[in-house]
């Protein structure tokens, strides 16, 4: 093997490694900002299904279509989409304005965080402060909750505000 082909191979390997690292990093960021409010990876069901090893259960093409517009896939009569829709109380997953490349990077991130060869836990993920009752909340905690709900205070992972799907005075909004 010549020196030039070794250098070329090394350069290509470096570029590929950096692009994979960037894809995982941007996939992680996108997952935390867009998906983590409703989904976990190997932590159990939340609002939506646990996504551990979803890349092994569904094709990339199916995942891209579903992530872009879950209701388009449900309305097409897709049996898997219908089953998920019904399993999660017909809660509509909002359409995403993510590019195909962004979705692929999220799928790569999910794959990198999924336990090898294991199914996702079927248990429901519990809230961090699940031992505390709303009646025990301080005035400060209530005010902070109101600010989080309304989007006046950012969520730590940059996810969408609660009131982007939920409304306290009108149950005509998705998810009530």
Shared-domain flag, residues 61 and 142: no
Residues 93 and 62 in one domain: yes
For residue range 108-125, list pLDDT tens digits in order: 999 999 998 555 555 554
Q: Within this chain, do residues 165 and 96 fall inside the same structural domain, yes or no? A: no
* Whether 118 and 138 share a structural domain: no
pLDDT tens digits, one per residue of 26-83: 999 999 999 998 999 999 988 899 999 999 999 999 999 999 999 999 999 999 999 9
- Domain that includes residue 98, residue range: 3-126
**116-123, long-range: CB within 8 Å, 24+ apart, which pairs?**
118/42, 118/52, 118/53, 119/52, 119/53, 120/42, 120/44, 120/49, 120/50, 120/51, 120/52, 120/53, 120/54, 121/42, 121/43, 121/44, 121/50, 121/52, 122/44, 122/45, 122/50, 123/44, 123/45
Domain end point (choices 85, 111, 126): 126
Same domain, 132 and 171: yes
> How many domains would you assign to the chain?
2
Q: Tens of pLDDT along 121-140?
A: 555 544 444 556 667 778 88
């Amino acid at each position: 093997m010549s020196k030039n082909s070794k250098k070329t191979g090394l350069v290509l390997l470096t570029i590929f490694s950096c692009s994979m690292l960037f894809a995982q990093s941007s996939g992680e960021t996108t997952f935390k900002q867009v998906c983590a409010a409703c989904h976990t990876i190997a932590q159990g069901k939340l609002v939506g299904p646990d996504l551990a090893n979803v890349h092994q259960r569904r094709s990339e093409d199916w995942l891209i279509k579903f992530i872009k517009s879950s209701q388009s896939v449900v309305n097409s009569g897709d049996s898997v989409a219908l089953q998920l829709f019904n399993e999660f109380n017909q809660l509509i997953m909002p359409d995403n304005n993510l590019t195909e490349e962004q979705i692929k990077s999220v799928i790569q991130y999910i794959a990198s965080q999924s336990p090898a060869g294991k199914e996702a836990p079927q248990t429901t993920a519990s809230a961090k402060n699940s031992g505390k009752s709303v009646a025990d909340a301080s005035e400060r905690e209530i005010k902070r909750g109101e600010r989080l709900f309304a989007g006046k205070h950012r969520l730590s992972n940059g996810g969408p505000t609660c009131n982007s799907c939920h409304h306290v005075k009108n149950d005509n909004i998705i998810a009530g």
